[in-house]
Structure 1
Amino acid sequence: MTCSAIWDDVGLPAWGTAPRASFWVAVEQAGPWGAKAFTQSRLDPAVGAAIETAALDAGGRALLIRRPIARGEQADRPVRRVYLAGGLTGRPWLLTGQVGEPAEVLTLPWGELATLDAVDVLRRVDWLAPLDQGVLLVCGNSKRDLCCAQRGRPIALELEREHPGRVWECTHTGGHRFAPTGIVLPTGQSVARLTVDIAAAALTAADAGRLASETFGPWHDRGRGHLEPVCAVAEAHVRELTGETDPAALVAVDSGDSTVEVTHTDGRVWTVRLALQEHPEQLPESCGKAAVAARTWSVLAVS
């Protein structure tokens, strides 16, 4: 049994498991990917390593993406699509462009991407332009985990037929045990256990600069990665309680001792007390790996 099937059977929540990132960069790379895709693909490994390192060093995340099409059609194109999502702490924005050489991505102002607004980035990077619709990246890195092949790739293929050009397979995002998983841009929300309907709702909401209420709750909402896990869980819980879809409406501040204060722009405040609890059984977090202690977040009280 795959790791995601085991976690589904046990029914454990996905809250607080989003990959940490203050911005996202996605670079098109067709063809096969190895387990360490940035250095194990048709991409020059030196360039791939430099892009991945630049993003991590700046507090963000870089992913490789490819079109969800038949493997035999996965040929390199003369230009590559690039997405850049930022502004995650306020009003998220999404830029896109094409580069002839992957090394051009290294010209991004990496050290400032976590804080720059879209206008500033556009002034500095002439090959980027604004994108006013959402994009969904679905983990399909089968060399990293079997679940990505069995669950991620089929749903990416189906979504591409219904939403052509707006859904991409992407490399490792963590959380194989919640496959199929996806990253919604520009909000940076990480979604677990994707379905076609939930993906469609997420894209529609992203077009309007919102989060989809269909993604709320512990079964699907892994959180937004610019937040510390404890804050991401508290924010996600308040969104589920209120149905608030505006990404900029809530501010979560860790008060210590697993207590988070969540403030709404309208003045409402929630104090959320949480616990990181250990499941009685050990479970595998990735296919083929040994079972380990399974820890998940729970909300103990809200006032």
Structure 2
Amino acid sequence: MLCTAAAADIPLLGTAGHFTGWLCIEHPGAWGGDVIGDEVLGPEITAELAARTSAAQVRPTLIRRPGRNEFTGTRTVLLVSSRPEGSWCERFEITDLRQLFDIDLHLVDGPPPGIGVRVDDSVVLVCAHGKRDQCCALLGRPIAAAMAADYPGRVWEASHTGGHRFAPAVVLLPSGLTYGRVDATAAKAMLEAADVGEVSLTGLRGRSCYPPISQLAEVAVREQIPANATDLTVHPDQAPTHDPTMAGAAIVTHRDGRRWRVTARTVPAAPRQASCGAAPKPATYLEPAAVEQLSGPFATQPAPSADR
């Protein structure tokens, strides 16, 4: 059984990888099992790049144009900050991988540094890392090809972004909005919404700048009110909970001053494989337990989610 079939009943909320910075490196041709590995970039580059991206908490990602591409000797590099506010993407080219070491990756924590060309339109990453999991190749590549035909120059096949069991897995940069189980119609709607500053909810897993409970909280509020892409910010709720079934809570704030407290619970699921060919193991998922408006017009009492 494919891992996507095994996970078909697992909800998507709160499953996006948690990254606030990205370093996307063009590498046409085959990729290894690791995102960056010796068989792809060579031992000297791999070790140093792994250390630098880890220190700066930046996600290293290999990218390539959909379809077969010959290596020309020049690589496109995307440096991306996907913070909740002030996200940005810059693009430049290199001819030697060692040029990556000239970049201060901690720049993703600040404003656009101006070391490359500012990219204003959303960039699309579609996981197509077949060596990591076959579902990404089988399901991701067709979506990448279809989107590239409609949006040339904006779509990249990407190495593992997290959550291959939700393939086709798609990330929009610089926002970090992460989607799963998208078909061609949903993928087009996702990008059309992003282009006008809105957020498509179909297949939305969460925003990569937030941890899982905050991802869930943002989507739960978006499902209740209309909100543009930059209208909401989320912060963990530090108040202790005495209910062992609760996973935690987060506070969602609208730019107009309205605030919500969203609580989440962890739900056990039947064991299943997390990757193709892997043995089944226990599984859980997050779901909203309550969405309570704390301030602003029409503040409400806690609204429990429907019984499962």
Measured at CA, do residues 211 and 291 of structure 1 come closer, stay the same or move farther in structure 2, by a change above 3 Å? Answer: farther
Superimposed CA distance per residue, residues 217-275 of structure 1 (whole angstroms, 9 cap, x where no aligned partner) = xxx22211221211111112112221313235323332343122211111111111111
Matching residue of 1:191: 179
Q: Identity across aligned pairs (percent)? A: 33
Whichever residue aligns with residue 117 of structure 2, its letter is: A
Aligned match for 2:200, one of 202, 205, 213:
213
Matching residue of 1:267: 257
Structure 1 residue matching 2:224: 3-state secondary structure: helix
Matching residue of 1:14: 12
Matching residue of 1:165: 153
Aligned match for 1:148, one of 126, 131, 136:
136
Deviation at 1:41, TM superposition (A): 4.5
1:75 and 2:84 aligned: no
Matching residue of 1:285: 274
Matching residue of 1:254: 237
CA distance in structure 2 between the partners assigned to 1:77 and 1:130 by the alignment: 23
For these two proteins, the number of residue pairs brought into alignment is 285
Structure 1 residue matching 2:221: 3-state secondary structure: helix
CA distance in structure 1 between the partners assigned to 2:124 and 2:46 by the alignment: 22
Deviation at 1:87, TM superposition (A): 4.9
CA distance in structure 1 between the partners assigned to 2:195 and 2:39 by the alignment: 32
Matching residue of 2:302: none
CA distance in structure 2 between the partners assigned to 1:248 and 1:103 by the alignment: 39
1:245 and 2:232 aligned: no
Alpha-carbon contact 2:61-2:158 (below 8 Å) kept: yes
Deviation at 1:90, TM superposition (A): 0.3
CA distance in structure 1 between the partners assigned to 2:144 and 2:5 by the alignment: 18
CA distance in structure 2 between the partners assigned to 1:193 and 1:289 by the alignment: 20
Structure 2 residue matching 1:95: 3-state secondary structure: strand
TM-score, with normalisation over the residues of structure 1?
0.88
1:294 and 2:280 aligned: no
CA distance in structure 1 between the partners assigned to 2:51 and 2:137 by the alignment: 26
Alignment of 1:106-117 (within 5 A): 106-113=101-108, 115-117=109-111
Measured at CA, do residues 75 and 43 of structure 1 come closer, stay the same or move farther in structure 2, by a change above 3 Å? Answer: farther
Deviation at 1:211, TM superposition (A): 4.4
Aligned match for 2:87, one of 78, 84, 92:
92
CA distance in structure 2 between the partners assigned to 1:41 and 1:162 by the alignment: 33
Matching residue of 2:211: 228
Structure 1, unmatched stretches of 5+, are none
Deviation at 1:199, TM superposition (A): 2.0
Measured at CA, do residues 204 and 282 of structure 1 come closer, stay the same or move farther in structure 2, by a change above 3 Å? Answer: same
Matching residue of 1:38: 36
CA distance in structure 2 between the partners assigned to 1:166 and 1:13 by the alignment: 28
Deviation at 1:42, TM superposition (A): 4.1
Structure 2, unmatched stretches of 5+, are 242-247, 293-308
Deviation at 1:172, TM superposition (A): 0.7
Deviation at 1:276, TM superposition (A): 1.4
Superimposed CA distance per residue, residues 267-295 of structure 1 (whole angstroms, 9 cap, x where no aligned partner) = 1111111111111x101111111111111
Could you say which structure has the larger radius of gyration?
A: 2
Q: CA RMSD in A?
A: 1.8
CA distance in structure 1 between the partners assigned to 2:48 and 2:189 by the alignment: 35
Alpha-carbon contact 1:235-1:252 (below 8 Å) kept: no
List structure 1 segments (4+ residues) > 4 angstroms apart after TM superposition. none
TM-score, with normalisation over the residues of structure 2?
0.87
Deviation at 1:40, TM superposition (A): 4.7
Matching residue of 1:276: 266
Deviation at 1:141, TM superposition (A): 0.6
CA distance in structure 1 between the partners assigned to 2:192 and 2:47 by the alignment: 34
Alpha-carbon contact 1:213-1:245 (below 8 Å) kept: no
Alpha-carbon contact 2:19-2:82 (below 8 Å) kept: no
